[in-house]
Each structure stands twice: as C-alpha cells, then as structure tokens.
Structure 1
Amino acid sequence: MKHTLIGLILIASIFSCKTEEKEQPLVLGDFEMSQETIVHNQPISITYNGNDKNMEAFYYQLKGYKAYPVDLNFENSTATIVIPDSITAVAFNFKVDGTYLNNDKKGYLFAVQDQEGIPVAGSQSSLEYYKTSYGEQYGLEGDNAIFVSTLIKEVNENAKVKEVWEDQYLNLILRNDREKGETIANKLAQEISSKKVLTEADYNQLHSIYSMTRKSNLADSLAAIATEKFPKGKIKKQILMNQFYDAKTLEEKEVVFNELHTNFDMEPSLSYAASNMASEHFKAGDMEAFKQYADKIESPSDKAGMYNSVAWPLAEKGEHLETAAEISKASLELMKAQQNSTEGKPEYYSEKQHKKNLQRSYNMYADTYALIQYKLGNTKEAITYQAQAIGDGLNTEINERYIEFLVADKQYERANEKANVFLNAGHGTEKMTALYRKSYAQAHPNATDFDAIIANIEQKSRNKALDNLKKEMLDDAAPAFELKNLDGKTVSLESLKGKTVILDLRATWCGPCKASFPGMQQVVEKYEGDENVVILFVDTFEDGANREQDVAQFITDNKYDFHVLIDGKIKDSDKYEVANKYGISGIPTKIVIGPNGRIKFKSVGFSGSNDKLKQEMDLMIDLVKS
C-alpha cells in the first residue's frame, strides 16, 4: 500500500504539472496570438497592438489546394477564431499602413494540430502550395521543388491526402516536375485501365490524365466511348463547351448552347456561356434574344456585369444612349440589391472581401451610367452617380470624369476642391490638371498663384511616391537569361550589366498589358537617347504556331517602338523560361534591374493611369541610378 500511494502521488503530480502548463503567446509583427500552436476546435485569440485604424486582417483556412479566406473581426483589438476539423493549415495575412507584413518573406503560416498535438496529415503540402500560389501577392517566397517533393511524400504516406488533392495532385506535379508527373500519370492510368468495369468517374479521370499528359489520341478515343456511355456526363459537357467557344458564327453557338441548356444544369460555366450569347445578340441588334439569354444568367452579379459590358462601349462612343442608360441602370439596381447579402459569395472571398468587391463593381457601373447621362445632357444626374463611382478615389479616370462633369456644370469651387484632393493624393491626370486650371480661373479670375499651387502639388506627389517606392525597393538576384528578339538576335542579361534594365513581361491577349502600352511607349521615347537605360518587352504566356509574326504584326499595327524578346516555353511544360525564373504568375509585371545586376523593383499589374505609370517608371529609374 505504501508503495502504491507513492506511485499515485507521482502520477498525480505529473498530471498536475501538465495541466498547469500554458503555451506562451506568439508575437506576429504588430499582432499577438494567444498560443504558439493551432489545434482543431480550440479557440485562439489574436490581439492587435498597433495604431493603424485602417489595418486589415484575415486568414486562409487551407485544405489541400483550396484556400478559404475568413475575416478577423476585432472587438477591443482582439479577435477569436476556431479552426474546424476539416482544415489542415492556416495562413494569416496582416495589412498595416497599406503593406502586408511578410515576416521576412516566411509569412505567418501554421500547420493545424489534432487534439493529440499531432500535425494534421497533408498540412505541409497545403502550406508549401500556398507559398507558391498565393505567396507573391503577400510578399512570401515559395519553392516549387520543395512543394512537389512534400506533396509526393505526404500522398504516399496517407491515402486520404491524395483524396483531398483530387485531380489537382497530378496536374500540379506535371506542371512543376514533368518527369515525375509522367511516371505517376502512367502508373495511375494503368491502374484504372486494368479494372474489369470502368465507372463514369474512372472515364473522367482517365480522360483527364491523357489530356494532361498530351496523349490526345488516347483522350479522343476515350472521349468517344465515354460520351456514348454517358451522354449527359462531364466529358460530353466539356466537349460541348469547347465547341461553343470554337464556333465561328452566332448561329453555330446557338445550336451548341441549346444542347447544353437542354442536357445540363445552369451552373457557372453555362451561365457564362449565356452571358456570351446575350452580348453577341446585343451586338447583332436582336434585343429580344438579348433579353432571353440575359434571363438565363442565374447570378445577379454576373448579369449586372454583362449589362455593364454592353453599356460601356456605347457610353464611350456616344451611341444608342437611351438604350445604354436603361441597361446600365439595370446593372446598378442588381448590384444594389446584392450589397447587403452574402448569398452567392464565392468561396475565394471572405465576407468583407465579397462586400468590397460588390462595392467596387457598383462604383464601376455607376461610372458607366454617369458617362451616359453626361452625354445625354443630364449633367447633374451624371455628377450624382459619378460621386458614387469615386469610391476610395484611386481610379484616376473616374476622378477625372468627376472633375469634368463639375466644370461642365459650372460648380467651380467644388471642382477646385476635389481636383486639389485628387492631385495631392497622386490620383490625378494631366487632363485633370488642365480642368483644374480652367475651373480655378473661373472661380478666381484675378489669381496669379495657380502655377505655384500645381508645382507644390507635383512636388508633394513626387516625394510621396518616392517614399513609397523606397520602402518597396528590393535587392534580389536577377536570374540570367538569353532570349531572341523579333529579328532573331540573341539578347542576354549578362551583356547588359552596368545598365539599368527594365523587363516588361506582357502578352498581346492581355487587356491590362495593352492598356499600359501607350504609357510605356512614352517611357521608351523619353529614354531612347539614354545609353544606360534598356527597356525590354518580354512576350510571355503566349503560344501559337505564328507567335513571332503575330507579335511583330501587333507592334507594327499599333506603331509601338518596343524592343520585344520572345520568352521561350520550357520543354514538356506549360511554363515559360523568364517568367518561371522570375516567379511571374500574372501580367503585366515590370522588373527593374540595377547596373549591379540585381532586382530593385517588381511591379505587378496596371493602375489604369498612364500618367501614374510614367511617373512610377521615372522614379524607379532615378532611384536605381542613384
């Protein structure tokens, strides 16, 4: 008994110590997490200790390749979250003073643990995929090779992990490591083919494997069998959708669409096809068919987007304005009805992101309606809606139209006030400055200080932009490359060492790229006499048998003086050499490389303002030179 008592005391003391142990809080930049680990169904609090009232914070719940954003809702500087059983990992994103905190490019990433304190199977694959797929927009670094090896390892260790990744498992391996992917694909195809009886799911998976591995003959043969066995199956629908978008005439499209509509549900891809049909019938002048197809679009947001897409060209051209006004107003009413609802929220948005996206769409459609009203002569109505369109005031063209409408309505003091605000914030244009000058002269006919006002604004704007760029300045290695230009001559990065090199990665199919080209043409003209600045336009993410000729024709037709390089496609891959080396996932992207051969700036996207683009390029070049 005596020995037993001692044993019980020891056991009790051990349990007592474990119960009293508490995890220490974990500091995440300006944030603090209540504990160092994340466990399923265990509440965790996040506290913000900073001063930015406009701070934004959310986190992704990760499961395989899927990422579900969730808002962090703070009350008294603290938010509490609980991670459900289905989630394998978590990635926090904190935006403070307009910049995402990236924890020295490592991010704030956590593998979720089960109740026993063991990391959930597949958690590392989820995190590595997140870094390679989402990392760039949040300042994180990912490694495709590490992702592939991690995914293969975790799939081999746990069959359930493979189920979570579904068909994306093979697709992602093939994209990142063709040789390993081919080996896995061949083995998987053999396993499925050896079955005595194939289900529809088996046919779908085999077709997917043959398509991904570019075995088109096998894919076509299988598709013929599958469509006969399953005339309303996934493969049949895919074939019809391809036929729809390959159709040359509206009549051909209509035949394919009717077959789709008869045999398949109106889910997003078919709804998008209906939107396409409505737009085509509108262009053809068939308003009855336009309305019929518009009514088939189930998502109010998608329908509003289609309405705006047909109304905007009419607004720009000043054609059929009464009809355009009716359609544009309908887009606004649809969006207004959606703004207080989370119904139809895509899984890739959090609730706050969804609401912001709805508001952005409403603002854009209000801009269309305002321009239509302005051209109809209803200037006050135009001003009312343009004031709504402004939103956060970041879109320079929308801001410019607002000033134009105010000046047209002789609201000079209001025009002066708003123009001053936009220009000081760096969200104005040259045309806005001219409108401001006209308005200022009307309001103050004897004033002589306008040039001084503008000079002061421009200096402040420059200094602000300069300060922001200094914070974004990089010092990363620039991967070497050799590409051929449109004359067949090889251009290497090594041969340009000692110069400031701008790489503008773009494609002729890319809308934002094409919108930025007039501004880039002006940049090219400004620096054509500077032997220390080289601007190269790298055509990437573009394919086709006549690619070089098509690109050259595009440059000639638009009279651009661009030195174009053709980014080569990596053998047995969907990737492109320079885009892959520089981690480019979206275009347009501009890379500024200093004379020392290191990357100094990386700018993704186009703001819509060529004036802003020119200023940004000037400042980047000045900073690199200095």
Structure 2
Amino acid sequence: MKKIILSLVALVVLSCVSTYGQDKDTTKSGIILDGLLKMTDTVARQKKIEQLFKTGNEVDGEALVRFYNVKENRAMSDSAFRSTARRFPLGDYGFQSASMEVMAENDPAKQREKYLAMRKRFAHAANNRMGSGFVELSIAMKRIADKDLKGAFIYIDSIRTPSLLASAARGVYALDPAKAEEMLREIKSSSNNSGTGERNNGIDATYAHILISNGKIEEAAPLIKKVYAESTGMRRSDEIIGDYTTILRAENDYTGIITALEAAILEGKGTPDMRAQLAVAYQKMGKDTNSSFKTLNEALSRRIRQEVAPSMINNPTPFFTVRDINGKTVSLSDFKGKIVVLDFWATWCVPCKASFPAMQQVVNRYKNDGKVAFLFIHTWEHSAKEPLKDASQYLKSKNYTFDLYMDYYDSKTKTNPAVSAFKIEGIPTKYVIDRNGRIRFLIEGFNGGDEASAEEVSAMIELAKGDS
C-alpha cells in the first residue's frame, strides 16, 4: 500500500522572485511599478512613493509592495502590504492579511471564532473569496495533522470546489481511508454532473491513487490509464507515473512499464525508484540491464546537451566579492583558469533548496576535477543575527558537501553586494563561468526533476570547457 503524504495547502513556486520579471507587465500595478523603476530623479520618486502611501488606491499599494520587493527592501515591502491591507480591509491584501491571521491561530476554538468573524466580514465584499475553499482547506489540514477528523469536517463541509475537496480527501485518508474513498466517489459523481470536465483529470488521478492505496487495483485501472493517456509534460506527475506502473505490474505488462519509465526518464523525470522499477522490468523481459541503462543514459545526455547548447552566452562577469566560512574575502580571480559554477540561494527559499539534490549530484560528478569549482553563495538573508550559522547548519543537516560562501547584507548600501552586482531579481539563480571569466550559462529558478537538472548543469559545464 502506498503512503499518502499529508501536507498543508501550499502554492508550488518555481522561483523566489520579485513580481517584476523580464516580460513586460501590462497590469495596472505593473505599469505603475515600471514608472517608479524608470524614474532617475530619486527625490521625485520618493515624493511619488509618499503620495501613493497617503492617497493611493489599492492598485497603487500593490505597486509599492512590488517596488520594494524589487529593491530587496523587505521591511518596506511588509510596511506597504500592512498599510494597503489596513486602508482597504475588504480588498485583496485585506483578505490575505485576515487569512494569515486565521491560519496562524493554533487554538481550535479561537481559530473557529476568527474564521466565523472573517466569513461575516467578507460576506458582502466585492471580491469575496471565502467560497473558494482555500482557507477552509488549510484549517482542515491543520485539524487532520492534530488527528481531529471531526474538527476537520467542520471546514471540509464548507468547501464547494471539487479539486479542493479532492485535496481534502487526501488528508482524510491518513485517518480514515474508507471515508477518503467515499469522498472521492461523491466528488467524482458531482463533478461529472456539473460540467467541470477540465477538473476531472485531477480528480480522477486522486481517486485512482486512493483506490490503489486501498488495494482496489482493478477498479483503479481504467481511471489511471485514462489519466496517464490524457496527461502530458508536467501534468504527468511522478505519482501518476507510479500509479500507472503499479497497474501495469499487476497486469504483468513489463513491456508497458519499460515504455512508460524510459519515456519519463528521457523527459527528465527520472527518480531512483523509477530506475529500480525499470531494472526489474528489464530483467523480466530478458534485457541486459547495464547495456539498457547505458543506452538510455546516453540518449538523455544527448537530448539535454542539444537543448542546452543554443542557450550558451558570452557575457562579462561583473566584479564581485564574497566571504568563505572563515571570513576570508574571495573573488572570481581566486579561481582563475577554472570553470566556476555560482549558485545564489537562501535558507528561506524553497525552490533553492529543492534544487540541491540535483546540485549534489553534479558536485559528486566533478569532485575529482580540480578544474571545476562550485560556489554556493548564501544571500538575501532573513536572519540578521547569524546567517552563516543558519546556512551552515542547514547544509550540514542535509549532508550536502557544498563549498559555502556568504553575500552579507551591507547596511550602508542596503544591498547584498554580490547578488546586486549580477542584478539578480530572484533566486535560485546559477551561473556557469568559463576559464576566461566569461558567463556562458544562466539558470533562473528550478523546474524540478533532479536527474534532468543535474544533466543540464553538467552539460553546461562540459560545453563551457570546450568553448574556452
């Protein structure tokens, strides 16, 4: 039986970035933000900001929050958020602020009181989002984590969105597998009758997963086969692939397992578990495991190298300095003649940390290559007291063998100098620098897939070696 992991409701963020990106933002707040960033007269800009703080509307407040995010001024960003939420209590920021207060409450009775007050407060708001179910789902998950199923259903019963109800069912499974299955059966029936077809694939996937977890393989088979056939790319998750191959294994269809898992690996979704399953399937079909994996790995490397090559650039590297864990100041010149990989990260950045298993694979691959250096640069620290201790302890706790460097906040310039030198707007951001000190590759964010990510960085290193 598979274990269903209970988790709090969260948005999957691919990069810890400011909301101001490379593409032109044509939203109202984006236009205001663009205007503020383009103002060269700092005195005039400050007057404009003060005016927006005092008399601006909610869109102006959003622009101010985004402006200070771009400027890496978290204190002012928080101030702009609170100010906007206070001035427009029934607006978007007012809703977010109220939601955070409700979800932060740990006492069930007090949380219920705050929740009901919030429902009443936003009942007639122009942008009432209480009916969406996100707040209710978050509280329900919290009750489930406390093993309070009865308390969870007080909130689950208020959720009307089928996809969120399906998420709730995943949580319920941890305490009552039969009830979770019953919920999914009802959700599937109601969503089929309500015309929400675009949501059905996700609901079918969840229902099939619950059925498989409850040992009902035959009932799950047509559902998961439909989901697998209709899902592609990122929508074909590890869970869907795993459930699909579980069905094929029950049917002794090892040819199908090989086809599915080789396709997943070539798409960059490979995991150790997939490779272990594939090894068994190769053996079952009388294939030589070593040669089969060798052929597969070579195909994966070729594909990624072909995809990566066109993104090669040839830009100068800005001058920067960072400090090693002993406090010594170092710069790029200390690594002259080497391929240098810079990885800007922070302990609070979820996608930064999500990218580290892949980066550990790359570090392991080049650990005996004295011509390749890795600098994991901790920046934009939220802990003003001991950022070095925070970063070091995190890496140690995960057994990462990274060379840590610190880009400390400069109170005089109000910046983290190294990240500012590169004009980075979000992390994780990685650079591959050739032996001549030229930037050859830039990687922004993290799209998931440890195998593919490790191959991608490795391909960049090899291309940088050959072109310098």
Instruction: Please give the range of the TM-score, normalised by the shorter of the 2 chains.
Output: 0.7 to 0.9
Q: Root-mean-square deviation (CA), in Å?
A: 4.6
Q: 1:411 aligns with which of 233, 250, 253?
A: 253
| 1:331 CA displacement | 6.3
1:378 matches 2:236: no
CA spacing shift, 1:295–1:463, aligned 2, 3 Å:
same
AA in 2 matched with 1:621 = I
* Paired residue secondary structure (1:537): strand
1:169 matches 2:32: yes
Q: Is the 8 A contact 1:419 1:436 kept in 2?
A: yes
* Paired residue secondary structure (1:505): strand
Kindly name which structure, 1 or 2, has the bigger radius of gyration based on alpha carbons.
Answer: 1
* Paired residue secondary structure (1:530): coil
Q: 2:390 aligns with which of 534, 550, 570?
A: 550
1:277 matches 2:139: yes
CA spacing shift, 1:530–1:411, aligned 2, 3 Å:
same
Residue number in structure 1 paired with 2:112: 254
| 1:171 CA displacement | 9.4
| 1:387 CA displacement | 3.1
Structure with the bigger percentage of strand: 1
| 1:470 CA displacement | 1.0
| Greater relative contact order (CA < 8 Å, ≥ 6 in sequence) | 2
CA spacing shift, 1:413–1:581, aligned 2, 3 Å:
same
Q: Is the 8 A contact 1:508 1:554 kept in 2?
A: yes
Q: Is the 8 A contact 2:140 2:155 kept in 1?
A: yes
CA spacing shift, 1:545–1:339, aligned 2, 3 Å:
farther
* Paired residue secondary structure (2:431): strand
CA spacing shift, 1:625–1:273, aligned 2, 3 Å:
same
Q: Is the 8 A contact 2:169 2:181 kept in 1?
A: no
Residue number in structure 1 paired with 2:12: none
Q: 1:499 aligns with which of 327, 338, 342?
A: 338
Q: Deviations over 1:352-374 (max 9, x none)?
A: xxx6xx58xx44x5554444333
Residue number in structure 1 paired with 2:8: none
- Relative to structure 2, which stretch is displaced further, 238-247 or 554-563? 238-247
Q: Is the 8 A contact 2:20 2:30 kept in 1?
A: no
Q: Is the 8 A contact 2:53 2:80 kept in 1?
A: no
Residue number in structure 2 paired with 1:464: 303
Residue number in structure 1 paired with 2:458: 618
1:397 matches 2:397: no
2:80, 2:255 → 1: CA distance? 68
Residue number in structure 2 paired with 1:88: none
| 1:382 CA displacement | 4.3
Matches within 5 A, 1:587-598: 587-598=427-438
1:380, 1:574 → 2: CA distance? 61
CA spacing shift, 1:389–1:185, aligned 2, 3 Å:
same
| 1:467 CA displacement | 1.1
CA spacing shift, 1:382–1:568, aligned 2, 3 Å:
farther
Residue number in structure 2 paired with 1:135: 22
1:290 matches 2:148: no
Q: Is the 8 A contact 2:315 2:440 kept in 1?
A: yes
2:364, 2:95 → 1: CA distance? 50
Q: Deviations over 1:529-586 (max 9, x none)?
A: 3222122223345413345133333222222222233444576999755445445444
Matches within 5 A, 1:24-423: 133-135=20-22, 165=28, 169=32, 173=36, 180-186=44-50, 240-241=98-99, 243-265=101-123, 267-268=128-129, 271=132, 272-297=134-159, 299-301=161-163, 303-304=164-165, 306-307=167-168, 310=171, 314=174, 320-327=176-183, 362-363=201-202, 366-390=204-228, 391-393=231-233, 397-398=238-239, 399-423=241-265
| 1:234 CA displacement | 8.6
Query: How many residues in Structure 1 have an aligned counterpart in Structure 2?
Result: 431
| 1:410 CA displacement | 1.9
Residue number in structure 1 paired with 2:9: none
2:181, 2:39 → 1: CA distance? 49
1:479, 1:426 → 2: CA distance? 32
| 1:281 CA displacement | 1.9
AA in 1 matched with 2:238 = E
* Paired residue secondary structure (1:135): coil
Q: Which runs of 5+ in 1 are unaligned?
A: 1-131, 137-141, 148-160, 193-200, 342-354
Q: Is the 8 A contact 1:304 1:330 kept in 2?
A: no
Q: Is the 8 A contact 1:307 1:327 kept in 2?
A: no
AA in 2 matched with 1:310 = G
Q: Percent identity?
A: 25
Q: Is the 8 A contact 1:379 1:409 kept in 2?
A: no
Residue number in structure 2 paired with 1:479: 318
Residue number in structure 2 paired with 1:440: 282
* Paired residue secondary structure (1:524): helix
TM-score by length of 1: 0.56
| 1:332 CA displacement | 5.7
| 1:616 CA displacement | 2.1
- Relative to structure 2, which stretch is displaced further, 424-433 or 573-582? 573-582
1:591, 1:386 → 2: CA distance? 40
| 1:435 CA displacement | 2.2
* Paired residue secondary structure (2:117): helix
1:242, 1:572 → 2: CA distance? 33
* Paired residue secondary structure (1:377): coil
Q: Is the 8 A contact 1:311 1:327 kept in 2?
A: no
Q: Is the 8 A contact 1:170 1:185 kept in 2?
A: no
Matches within 5 A, 1:464-613: 464-546=303-385, 548=387, 549-569=389-409, 577-582=417-422, 584-613=424-453
Q: Which runs of 5+ in 2 are unaligned?
A: 1-18
Residue number in structure 1 paired with 2:5: none
CA spacing shift, 1:541–1:416, aligned 2, 3 Å:
same
1:428, 1:541 → 2: CA distance? 32
CA spacing shift, 1:296–1:408, aligned 2, 3 Å:
same
Q: Deviations over 1:497-556 (max 9, x none)?
A: 422222223333333333332232232233233222122223345413345133333222
| 1:173 CA displacement | 2.5
Q: Is the 8 A contact 1:403 1:432 kept in 2?
A: no
Residue number in structure 1 paired with 2:13: none
AA in 2 matched with 1:466 = R
AA in 2 matched with 1:473 = M
Residue number in structure 2 paired with 1:139: none
AA in 2 matched with 1:169 = I
AA in 1 matched with 2:340 = V
| 1:280 CA displacement | 1.3
TM-score by length of 2: 0.73
* Paired residue secondary structure (2:442): strand
| 1:455 CA displacement | 2.6
1:220, 1:413 → 2: CA distance? 55
* Paired residue secondary structure (2:355): helix
Structure with the bigger percentage of helix: 2
AA in 1 matched with 2:252 = K
1:491, 1:334 → 2: CA distance? 62
